[in-house]
Structure 1
Amino acid sequence: MKIADLPKNEKERLKTLFSYGILDTEHEKAFDDLTILASEICECPIAMISLVDAKRQWYKSRIGVDIDCTSRDVAFCAHAILQDEIFEVRDTMLDERFADNPLVTNSPHIRFYAGAPLKSPSGLNIGTICVASDRPKTLSSKQSKSLLTLATSVMSQLELKLQSTKLILANSYKESFLSNISHDVRTPLNAIIGLSDLLTKNVELAAQFPAVTENLSQIDLSGKQMLKTLNALLEVGKIDAGVLNLEITHSDPSDYIKFVVNNLMIKANEKSIKVDVQIANDIPKTVAIDEAKFGCVLSNIINNAIKFSHSNSKVIVSASVLNETLILKVVDSGIGIQTEKIPYLFNQFAQITGQSQNNEGSGLGLSITKGLVELMHGHIDVQSKNKVGTTVTVSLPYKNVPTPSSSNIQTKNIPDTTNILVVEDNKVNQMVIAALLGAIPVQFKIVGTGEEAVTFGTNADFDLVLMDIHLPGISGIEATRRLRANKVKIPILALTADVYRSSREKALFDSFLTKPIALDQLVDAISQNLLIQATT
């Protein structure tokens, strides 16, 4: 018996083999089907997809044999990987290299073998697809060509698995990176926006120190602008990663459109642009829609219209309904877009600015807008003429919901006896949440660890818990699980600067608040959860 020589490129060959991550994995139908084809085409009872590592040949797929691997020293495939074409042994008993091979003298008593090398794109043979029989045999020309074709198919399957694995890993790294960015940047923004917002609303401070209040307003505005940029980047990441979900709420579309427009009026006024809002009379008072994403879509489109309009011009924002579809239309008479450039508008980081040199911005707005519209099962259309103007039309389906009656309890009616447990380890965030809760007539206690949360939440009389997710020791998620295991039934609201939490984690909590948290948002969340608790 002759042991096969090692390939000259053995080190590189093994590195390539290991890169596929295929060794010692479960059987897969795609490979088994190719093995069956090899057996049938070559008319052999034994067929295998064999991968040759440093000491053995391992079978990813096999028929006609009961073992998963053999020593490389006795492997026919160790000889086959030294070839670029079919390696064929027509009668092992007549070949001194194999006549006394244990695989010949013992089960499975191989008398015939043919193997086609599995050649990687870099030209390295990592194994074979092979056939064998207990009788002497010769492959026909057609069978030989077919076996080589099957070898190519095996490598295609291996490449497909490799790319799929890389994509999954890349998405995992991407989501982890964006999750960390979300948390690490939102945490300081929570302090900047939260405290500056509270201070700018302080009437006594504004009266006594108007210049300070003006500076605080600029800090607040800058923080919110930074948050918008961060949100834009995160929205792109979430859309690409497939982790962005709809969060349907009951919204008054007319009021919300006016709210979005009002938020953009400072920029419009700077250019003396009139924004004319035209809302049809038949728009429902309340609809079921993802208000936040709806607002982001509308804000991006109106912002672009203002940005690329001439001074002293007009932007028309209209809204109408058709067959439970909200039709939003934004028309400007600005610089317009060349027809051939319109298809590229929605590419990430594209900045199509017509004849303007105003390229400020990240180029993410319209890419995000299109992604959000499609997520909401809607459609966006752009019509434009260079130097004439642009019309953007968005169609969004919605569901009618009954208009709330005036007898409903006010959402901000929080009893002054309410006692809240706050779980937050960050000292600055503790100061922010204390300032926010100080503006509400409630009592509260702040603790800094998940262990303390479990102790106080289980043994003290609280009406609601505000639970940070990232904590030293046990996380806010684990603390919540333990509180629920201890039969604590009060509302637990998650506080996090990470927008990439999974739906399974969100299901643990009664509400999920993303930092930075505005006072109105906090008040609404507390009042709604207390109301639900009182009625159950």
Structure 2
Amino acid sequence: MGAATLPANENDRLKELYSTELLDTPHEQEFDDIVKLASNLCNMPISLISLVDTNRQWFKARIGLDVDETNRDISFCSHAILQDDIFEVADASQDDRFSENPLVTEAPSIRYYAGVPLVTSEGNKLGTLCVIDKVPRHLTEKQRFALKVLADNVIKIAELRIKNRHLNYLTQTQKRIISILAHDVRNPLASIKSVIEFRKSDLLDEVEASEMMDTISLQLDSTIDMIANVVNWGEMQLKFDKFSFESVMLHDLVKSISGSEALNAHAKCNKIINDVDKQLVVRTDRRVIEFILRNLMSNANKFTENGTITISAFKQGAFTIIEVKDTGVGMPQEKASQLFLGTGNTTTAGTKNEKGNGLGLLLVKEFIDRMGGSITAESKPGEGTCFRIVL
């Protein structure tokens, strides 16, 4: 008995198989009906929709067989996915490839096998629609045709689900982009408007006005950069891409982000401290980590007055630890532990009654989760809050 060789495109094949999200899911009527019809049309006791995984074949639908999976190395279907047409074994007991196979010598005592590869539009063979009998036989031309049509329908159902999932994702992403822009752009523009009004009402002297106008210029540049950053992130999401990892000098990135909070920090007499080592390099998605840190720094400033906001980072084995710590009003630890749950949370106004909708922290949590990291918050009333990110 010899195990089948691996397809030349095995990595791409497995990647597309996993993208269907069919493995280890409950039985579903539309797939069950296909194997029932295949069994009936071919007049055979066993029919399967078999998905060939790394070390196993798993049955999305089955009739006439009581197990959900078998090892790949004894799988008939692992041979079938190497073919471009129906793979047919007339009598397995007389075939050198299968005569000693435990699926032949023991239950279910396979003699006849016919499997049609499930070929995606990308050309990957995810598994088979197969029929099995316990006696030697052959398919008629009509049965072969029917089996191919049913196999095509299995793939059409799977690919239609992926497209529907993608469309739903795009719709949700478009809504999310609008929310991000509203959340992140509102506060900077409001602070700029306030400074302009102070100037018009002569509440600022000439020196103060000059200093503020310089800061406004920096704020405008940073806000424009932020909008571009969010738009870029949105484009990445709409393309349904994975993260784009690169080497990021974290100190320089924090320095750049600090500019966007300079005006707000000044207005609340807060000092932003960049305590990140200048040589620290993080392998991450620049756009995503910038979005995360920008939101955490903005949140820290919201709840801090006449204090400090410190950004630090260090390596711990294979992990990078990033902390955003403030000396603000803080909160009970019980509340801090619920910040990222997204259920039943009500937003709290800042020390200057700044408004918010809680979206920023939820997006931060979502992105960190997607990057395989984690975030926690530690806080004490009157002492401040520390957000800790592990990447």
Q: What TM-score, normalized by structure 2, do the two folds share? A: 0.54
**What is aligned with 1:86?**
86
Matched, 1:48 2:60: no
Q: Secondary structure at the match of 2:355?
A: strand
Contact 1:179 / 1:500 at 8 angstroms: preserved in 2?
no
Q: Secondary structure at the match of 1:15?
A: helix
Instruction: Give the deviation of 1:172 after TM superposition.
Output: 4.8
Cα distance in 2 between the residues matched to 1:452 and 1:54: 44
Instruction: Give the deviation of 1:171 after TM superposition.
Output: 4.4
Q: Secondary structure at the match of 1:51?
A: strand
Instruction: Give the deviation of 1:154 after TM superposition.
Output: 0.9
**What is aligned with 2:330?**
449
> Over residues 198-243 of structure 1, what are the superposed CA-to-partner deviations in whole Å (9 max), with x where a residue is unaligned?
776x6x869x99xx9xxx9xx9xxx9xx99xx9xx99xx9xxx9xx
Distance 1:19 1:94, change over 3 A: same
> Over residues 137-172 of structure 1, what are the superposed CA-to-partner deviations in whole Å (9 max), with x where a residue is unaligned?
221111100101111111111211222333344445
Contact 1:23 / 1:60 at 8 angstroms: preserved in 2?
yes
Matched, 1:63 2:55: no
**What is aligned with 1:426?**
301
Instruction: Give the deviation of 1:119 after TM superposition.
Output: 1.0
Alignment of 1:331-480 (within 5 A): 425-426=300-301, 448-451=329-332, 475=339
Q: Secondary structure at the match of 1:139?
A: coil
> Over residues 107-131 of structure 1, what are the superposed CA-to-partner deviations in whole Å (9 max), with x where a residue is unaligned?
1112221111111222232210001
Contact 1:93 / 1:99 at 8 angstroms: preserved in 2?
yes
Matched, 1:495 2:376: no
Instruction: Give the deviation of 1:94 after TM superposition.
Output: 2.9
Aligned AA (1:4): A
Distance 1:115 1:177, change over 3 A: same
Contact 2:183 / 2:360 at 8 angstroms: preserved in 1?
no
Contact 1:49 / 1:128 at 8 angstroms: preserved in 2?
yes
Cα distance in 1 between the residues matched to 2:161 and 2:64: 26
Give the count of matched residue pairs: 263
**What is aligned with 1:36?**
36
Q: Secondary structure at the match of 1:128?
A: strand
Contact 2:92 / 2:104 at 8 angstroms: preserved in 1?
yes
Distance 1:427 1:453, change over 3 A: farther
**What is aligned with 1:304?**
none
Distance 1:449 1:177, change over 3 A: farther
Alignment of 1:133-152 (within 5 A): 133-152=133-152
**What is aligned with 1:180?**
180
**What is aligned with 1:6?**
6
- Structure 2: stretches of 5+ with no match in the other structure: 239-298, 307-327, 348-352, 363-391
**What is aligned with 1:165?**
165
Contact 2:34 / 2:150 at 8 angstroms: preserved in 1?
yes
Aligned AA (1:81): I
Contact 1:449 / 1:473 at 8 angstroms: preserved in 2?
no
> Over residues 380-400 of structure 1, what are the superposed CA-to-partner deviations in whole Å (9 max), with x where a residue is unaligned?
xxxxxxxxxxxxxxxxxxxxx
Cα distance in 1 between the residues matched to 2:58 and 2:179: 40
Distance 1:196 1:24, change over 3 A: same
Distance 1:189 1:90, change over 3 A: same
**What is aligned with 2:109?**
109
Q: Secondary structure at the match of 1:182?
A: helix
Distance 1:2 1:452, change over 3 A: closer
Cα distance in 2 between the residues matched to 1:453 and 1:99: 64
**What is aligned with 1:74?**
74
Q: Secondary structure at the match of 1:426?
A: helix
**What is aligned with 1:19?**
19
Distance 1:494 1:160, change over 3 A: farther
> Over residues 31-72 of structure 1, what are the superposed CA-to-partner deviations in whole Å (9 max), with x where a residue is unaligned?
222222211211112111111123221111111111111111
Contact 1:52 / 1:58 at 8 angstroms: preserved in 2?
yes
Cα distance in 2 between the residues matched to 1:476 and 1:74: 46
Distance 1:194 1:448, change over 3 A: farther
Cα distance in 1 between the residues matched to 2:95 and 2:196: 87
Identity percentage of aligned residues: 39
Cα distance in 2 between the residues matched to 1:168 and 1:132: 38
Distance 1:13 1:451, change over 3 A: same
Instruction: Give the deviation of 1:476 after TM superposition.
Output: 9.9
Cα distance in 1 between the residues matched to 2:162 and 2:343: 39
Contact 1:58 / 1:70 at 8 angstroms: preserved in 2?
yes
Contact 1:199 / 1:205 at 8 angstroms: preserved in 2?
yes
Cα distance in 1 between the residues matched to 2:181 and 2:36: 49
> Over residues 336-366 of structure 1, what are the superposed CA-to-partner deviations in whole Å (9 max), with x where a residue is unaligned?
xxxxxxxxxxxxxxxxxxxxxxxxxxxxxxx
Distance 1:105 1:205, change over 3 A: closer
Q: Secondary structure at the match of 1:118?
A: strand
Instruction: Give the deviation of 1:175 after TM superposition.
Output: 4.5
Distance 1:16 1:189, change over 3 A: same
Q: Secondary structure at the match of 2:332?
A: helix
Contact 2:59 / 2:68 at 8 angstroms: preserved in 1?
yes
- Structure 1: stretches of 5+ with no match in the other structure: 242-423, 432-446, 455-471, 484-492, 503-536
Alignment of 1:247-258 (within 5 A): none
Contact 1:191 / 1:429 at 8 angstroms: preserved in 2?
no
Contact 1:48 / 1:130 at 8 angstroms: preserved in 2?
yes
